[in-house]
Structure 1
Amino acid sequence: MDQEKVNILLVDDQPAKLLAYEVILKDLGENLVIASSGREALEVLLKTEIAVILVDVCMPELDGFELAAMIREHPRFQKTAMIFISAIQVSDIDRLRGYEMGAVDYVPVPVVPEVLRAKIKVFAELYRKTRELERLNHELEDRVRARTAELESSTAKLRESEQRRSMAIAAGKMGSWDWDWISGDWMWDEGQYRIFGVGPGSFEVNPANVQALLHPDDVDQLRKAVAEFNMGTRAYETEFRIVRPDGEVRWCVGTAAATVDRSGRVVRVSGVTVDITERKRAEERQNLLAREVDHRAKNALALAQSIVRLTRADEVKAYVNAVEGRINALARVHTILSLSSWQGAELSKLIDEELAPYSLGDQIRLAGPEVQLLPATAQTLALALHELFTNSAKYGALSTRSGRLAIDWRVEDGLLTLSWEESGGPLVMTPKSRGFGTRSLLASIESQLGGQAQFDWRAEGLLCRLEVPLTRKASTTALGKFDSGGSAELQRASG
């Protein structure tokens, strides 16, 4: 017998991509409904029963996240499956946002036809089976209404239990069990065995064997549950951990209900176990992410505060330009770090970002290997390079077309040595005192990174040598110790 076709809604603002999705999905034999915008998709949903929605994340006017939020607000579509397609690299925060909006999965671009068809097929079949189950339930309810109220209640409970059990087996995250309180016999379904990581052929279900799989710290609370049933409790729910035979620890939530005879004595206890490990891990990741964001925000604010507090200038405009330049340098390195998920930054990229504001043609020569910097090291070095470029553009070799700048670097035994050599510019004289830029460069390189900064004010141009250990993690961020006034580090740098 031919199965009933279901409607699949394809939402994308680009006709070519919609046509590609139609070609990929036509072999499924389902009804494909097209919408070229979020608003058109909402109109289709109000008129048509949709099994699965395939929606592009990046759309003008109403993007995929906004569309998902509006769909979920309508009672009819709170359980409709939505799959996001994203042509950009999706971060963990964007994934969490998508799942919060109701997405059931992500499909990256370029789309793999077999993967997309498989995902759509699963949710289309789930929708179809759900509809079939709903029709069967209606038929069963019509027959049950003719029976007594007691039989109707019993049948409804059985149906609900069977639905949970079927879904648990299909998803592999839930199992059910039954314990004969009188004889001591146990019964586990397939899902229960799967959660505990054992098989019915090799594992005998009895109190001793079950207890051996429980986390030692959670055994007492389950003993307490058994005792409470003996004292009249009829239902119990708790979270606990299990240790599978392979050593993997899983988090579960267990719900149990007792059946009693006419005298009130417990004769049977039945329950459901749900594997919530992924939820627990997601909560841990979310907490970790929140702490990391808080830490980075505080560091960035402390650094900005230090820059504003310690910058000096003879007039307001010069002060504003100096502050903006240093904060922009910090923003540029943050952009580089964010693209690498804060794993680090290439030294050459830091230099390229600082060069971007200047049109210097062939005035600058760069030479050195690829060097990956730790985040804190990258922040400090970016600010140091900013000060060197700024001073050179104002007073040094980069202030004239005839000036030349050579930047060379090498790495030996975990030590980065960077040489900054200017020539061909205005005549250089050794400064009588050091400005904030020079003082902060010295303090950050030496104090924050444990390195050295040497300046040779030659007449033909500045020669600067920076030595930075790559194996030592810099403390917080550059200038991080200046936020309380900076007296100790500044005195040391200017002494």
Structure 2
Amino acid sequence: MASPEPVKFLLVDDVEENLRALEALLRRDGLALYKARSGVEALELLLEHDFALALLDVQMPDMDGFELAEMMRGTGRTRRVPIIFVTAAATDEGRRFKGYEAGAVDFIYKPIDPLILKSKAEVFFSIARQHEQLARQKDALAHAAAELSGALDRLQAHTDNSPLAIVEFDPDMRLLGWSKGAERMFGWTAPEMIGHPLADLGWMPDSCIADLVTLFSASMADISHERGHDTVRCRTRDGSMLDCEWYSSVLRRPDGTPVSLSVQILDITDRRRAEETQLLLIGELNHRVKNTLASVQAIATQTLRYTRNPDQFSATFSGRIQALARAHGMLSDRTWQGADLMDLVHDQLRLGTIDPARLHASGPRVQLQPQPALRLALILHELATNALKYGAFSRPTGRVVLDWSVEGEQLQLRWQESGGPPVQAPLKRGFGSTLIDSSMKSDGGTAAVSFRSDGVVWDLAMKLDGPPASGAERGGRVPAAPAPAPERVAQALDGCRLLVVEDEALVALELIAVLEDAGATVCGPARTVEEALDMIEAESFDAALLDGNLHGKPVDALAAALTRRGIRFAFVSGYGRESLPAAFAHAPIIAKPFTPHQLVEIAGSLTRREENVVAFPTAAAAGPR
């Protein structure tokens, strides 16, 4: 803290000896004495300094002490300076009255009594010090008030801009405060709410007001209570209900008595809805995963039951799983809102060994719900596979026409083959026919097959959940696709050394088995990013197959390490291109689930350094890994 300014006294006397005597008597620490030998000198000093006391000699030439005092009282700057007259002459009552009238506070007579002079000077010295202290305190209070005002302004700005609603209640649960956030959240203005009891506001259901009053009353009565947290349903001005979290705290006086209850309110309506949606989605995902696994189990069991050897089982089972995966991928692309029938037909019937001119599909736009779409995908796969093995597609002259129509709430489909080998009814019903019949009946539909001399005809009917999508009738050839997988994988990778990076044990086993059957030497599998990096740096190989992520970690570092070493690679993933490392968009994708043919074809193109490597798409490419 800085040292205080010295207190200033003004000594005015035309005799130098008198001035020196006053100076000697009054000298002390913290006191500055200014001397003037005339009224004019005194006025000059008075205009320059602030004095706590003026000691004026009454008898002075040109301007006596009374005249100087009158001039001091006539000037605003010096009007309040205390004056003590110093005189040697006997003072009658008239002169004393004149002195007081001129503004004097006291008289000191010569010869001066040192004790009296010091006592009176001490009074004015102390008053000056107290005045100075009060001035400092006033400045400090003004500074503190300015800081407090600024802090309150900032607090008010934060309160007004906060997404929280901030309200305040008195001990009788009467509303004391209603922030801008509360106005935005609930719709009522502060003048409409402040001053009213909680029970009269219509702000929340009556059922919870009593509970809140009881809870808040207990909080105010409990001196140890600091902060409360409650979930409350609140009503907005337009009548809608919001789920809110209330964070309350009690403001108290020093003696502990409550002043008010301050509440900050957070609107959690969207969060509650998101949580409910999340639970619903988790439940739906669990349901669909279990249904899918049950379907795969059933396909495996029934395929095994109707096949004669392992090779036939592998090809047939793999084809059916691929059909199911493509349908799942299509539905995932559309966020499981359904699938367009023509898109489903194109996706399931793209048979690369068949001339597109031999397969024609037509019909109105029809939007299928997810479950019927999955069942119809498997039916189309069975129809196409049977036509390829035994029916129209097994002869160069054969062709298939697929058309459909909507009659009321029924979708009518006809699959008609012609130009194939002679047709006769089978002695024993196979799994494909059983699957088609049971799948249609599960949706309240029907399936009828006719074994005509010119080809098989299937008439299918299924119930639609809604009207067909608007739009003109669509039709035409089904576009060609890559060739289907052969029964066995040729020895296409003889002498190739491949790195497999995959964290899923069963998938890794499948990758290794297919690659080794094709003649490759497999390194790995590497199951973590760290393990894969070590193998990339320590070993040599011709190409690599890289999982889309490893235990939830991205594989950008692995792709970069392979690129630095000049090793070509393909991603093996259920993710689409948009979810894989963007910097390596040139790398092909082997979509899960894959066929042995797809895997060997792309692995071979990597080792042969082909410029254009084809990524075989499947519908699972956009779904989760």
Same fold, judged at TM 0.5 (above): yes
Which residue identity does 1:389 align to in structure 2?
A: A
Contact preservation (8 Å) 2:360, 2:401: yes
Normalised TM-score (structure 1): 0.60
Structure having the higher Rg: 2
Q: Which whole-Å CA distance do the structure 2 matches of 1:392 and 1:330 have between them?
A: 19
Relative to structure 1, the CA distance from residue 184 to residue 433 in structure 2 (aligned partners, 3 Å threshold; closer, same or farther) is closer
Question: Partner residue of 2:419?
Answer: 424
1:260-409 alignment, distance < 5 Å: 260-311=252-303, 312-358=306-352, 359-409=354-404
Question: Secondary structure at 2:190's aligned position in 1?
Answer: coil
Deviation track 1:166-207 (CA, whole Å, cap 9, x = no partner) reads: 445335x21222223379451211112222221235445522
The 1-side partners of 2:291 and 2:230 are apart by 40
Aligned partners of 2:199 and 2:209 also within 8 Å: no
1:175 aligned to 2:165? yes
Of 176, 181, 194, the residue aligned with 1:191 is 181
Distance in 1 (alpha carbons) for counterparts of 2:310 and 2:301? 14
Whether 1:242 aligns to 2:234 is: yes
For the residues of structure 1 that align with 2:174 and 2:287, how far apart are their CA atoms? Answer: 54
For residues 399 and 470 of structure 1, the distance between their equivalents in structure 2, rounded to whole angstroms, comes to: 33
Question: Partners in 2 of 1:182 and 1:442 — Cα distance?
Answer: 73
Preserved CA contact (<8 Å) 2:174 2:195 = no
Please tell me the residue identity of whatever aligns with 1:319. F
Superposition deviation, residue 472 in structure 1: 8.4
TM-score by length of 2: 0.48
Tell me the number of residue pairs that the alignment of Structure 1 and Structure 2 aligns: 318
Deviations 1:27-75 (A, max 9, x none): xxxxxxxxxxxxxxxxxxxxxxxxxxxxxxxxxxxxxxxxxxxxxxxxx
The letter of the residue matching 1:347 is L
CA distance in 2: counterparts of 1:315 and 1:181, whole angstroms: 85
Kindly indicate whether the alpha-carbon contact (under 8 Å) linking 2:175 and 2:198 is maintained by their aligned counterparts in 1.
no
Deviations 1:397-421 (A, max 9, x none): 0112100111110001010000111
1:439 matched to 2:429: no
- Whether 1:457 aligns to 2:451 is yes
Q: Using a 3 Å threshold, how does the CA distance of structure 1 residues 418 and 184 change in structure 2: closer, same or farther?
A: closer
- How much has 1:234 moved relative to structure 2? 4.0
How many Å separate the matches in 1 of 2:292 and 2:186?
A: 46
Task: Return the offset for 1:282.
Answer: 2.2
Is the 1:350–1:382 Cα contact (8 Å) retained in structure 2? yes
270-279 or 325-334, larger mean C-alpha shift:
270-279
Equivalent residue letter for 1:266:
P
Counterpart contact for 1:229–1:266, Cα < 8 Å: no
Aligned match for 1:224, one of 205, 214, 223: 214
CA distance in 1, matches of 2:158, 2:358: 69
Is 1:165–1:175's contact at 8 Å kept on the other side of the alignment?
A: no
Q: Displacement, 1:228? A: 1.1
CA change 1:210–1:289 in 2 (3 A) is farther
CA contact (8 A) 1:196 1:244 kept: yes
Identity %: 32
Aligned letter for 1:276? I
TM-fit CA distance, 1:227: 2.5
Contact 2:401 2:415 in 1 (8 A): yes
Letter in 2 for 1:170: N
Is this contact kept in 1: 2:220–2:250, CA < 8 A? no
Q: For the aligned residues, what is the CA RMSD? A: 2.7
State the distance in 2 between where 1:456 and 1:264 align.
Answer: 92
Change in Cα spacing, 1:163 to 1:424, as seen in structure 2 (3 Å) is: farther
Runs of at least 5 residues in structure 2 that lack an aligned partner in the other structure: 1-139, 468-625
Deviation at 1:210, TM superposition (A): 6.1
CA distance in 1, matches of 2:407, 2:286: 35
Q: Which has the higher helix share?
A: 1
Classify 1:184/1:425 alpha carbon distance in 2 versus 1 (closer, same or farther; 3 Å).
closer
Query: Following superposition of structure 1 onto structure 2, how do residues 116-155 of structure 1 map, counting pairs within 5 Å?
Result: none
